[in-house]
Amino acid sequence: MRKILNAGLIGCGGRGTGAAENWLQAAKDVRIVALADVFADRLAGSRAYLEGMKHDGVRLSDERCFVGFDAYRRLLALEDVDVVLLATPPGFRPLHFEAAVAAGKHCFVEKPIAVDPVGVRRFLAAGRQAAEKGLAVVAGTQYRHQEGFQEVVRRVREGWIGEIREARVFYNGGPVPHHARQDGWTDMEDQIRNWWYYDWLSGDCIVEQHIHTIDVGNWLLGAHPVRATGSGGRIQRVGEGFGNGYDHFAIDFEYAGGIHCLSMNRQWAGSDGYVGAWVRGTEGVARPYEGVIEGARPWRYEGASTLGTAYVQEHADLIASIRAGKPANESAQVAESTLTAIMGRQAAYTGRTITWQEMTESDLDYSPAKHEFGPLDVRRVPVPGSE
């Protein structure tokens, strides 16, 4: 008989609740048995949504719903939790992942996995420990689990577009939510509830959001960049309460062999949006988001669109790897893409060309001194040339 897999969710916001729903959709004999969040109202909303699904796998009780900065530890102490879904703001990811691996849990980790180089190294170390323990780690870079993308990348690897010359990756979207500060909120609470706007929580939009297409770029090129030069700033998000992040970035990533990839990301209202990536070779162009190859060997993906179901497929692949006794471990690839995005951010923040080696050795650490409600200063908005 197939083993029932029990999962606990750490981080009950919209993406976390969605991940829990996707987990339940991914296979039979899986359950959600515990929730953890810093905020009681976020946990209550997530619990109500999941219980409203009327899914037999939702097995929640008051005793298994934990609130506070130590909620993740109390959830991880539950012996019958096999898998944890880590979906808090990214600034907490290295801490929570380390604790989950130490507790012997398989992990689904939302992207990005850190906001600074120190956090990336912590995550990588825990990922190696997970491999030694036989624990599965699957990341929320869902395009890698989408069949159409996989087929395009496979053909690029097989030489269908010839020798690669250049690439483009875009994540041009609209604004993210903003919650007006309420009476009684401390600095810490306000920042966590508006986490998109603070570097220590999100890593800025290039790290938190654009990582999706940056990851596709690395995947298509089969490597990470060696250096980055770029620019960015804030044009629309200039009022009070918008933290210290930028609202747009444009980065030139250079890969080995002199291959360049233009990266563009913005979160602007009233502007054209486009999310996509392409790579040009000597004999054609591959566009994974459209599922096509143009040029000497034209091809189009004819399978059913699975862009929406890729969010489910990543959980299905995680579950299958656990049940087969061949645990997947995507920690290195998602860490590499996260560090790529961080390198681009630092190039824009500083106005300098930043190298990969510099990032791997950097002691940049955005972590606050302690996680507790109370006052918390905001670093100034980065000014190139003075960072």
Q: What is the mean pLDDT of the chain?
A: 96
The verdict on 271 and 210 lying in the same domain is yes
List the CATH number of the domain containing 104. 3.40.50.720
* Range list of β-strands (E), the chain: 5-10, 30-37, 65-67, 83-86, 106-109, 137-139, 164-173, 227-233, 248-255, 259-267, 274-281, 284-287, 292-295, 299-300, 354-355
The verdict on 231 and 263 lying in the same domain is yes
Taking residue 104's Cβ as centre, other Cβ atoms within 10 Å add up to: 14
Over the stretch 82-93, which tens digit does the pLDDT of each residue have? 999 999 999 999
Question: Looking at residues 354-380, what average pLDDT do you find?
Answer: 97
Residue with tokens 């953890």: 36
- Percent of the chain past pLDDT 90, that is, above it, reads 96
DSSP letter for each residue of 67-114: ESTTHHHHHHT-TT--EEEE-S-GGGHHHHHHHHHHTT-EEEEPSP--
CA–CA separation, 296 vs 294, rounded Å? Answer: 7
pLDDT at 183 over 70: yes
Q: Give the total residue count for the chain.
A: 387
The verdict on 166 and 296 lying in the same domain is yes
Question: Looking at residues 347-374, what average pLDDT do you find?
Answer: 97
Which residues constitute the domain of residue 187? Answer: 147-307+337-361
Over the stretch 213-230, which tens digit does the pLDDT of each residue have? 999 999 999 999 999 999
Over the stretch 288-329, which tens digit does the pLDDT of each residue have? 999 999 999 999 999 876 656 899 999 999 999 999 999 999
pLDDT band of 387, cuts 50, 70, 90: confident
pLDDT band of 2, cuts 50, 70, 90: low
pLDDT band of 1, cuts 50, 70, 90: very low
- 120, 123, 129, 135: CA torsion to nearest 10: -130
Is the pTM here over 0.95, yes or no? yes
The verdict on 281 and 324 lying in the same domain is no
Residue with tokens 């929570």: 96
pLDDT at 3 over 90: no
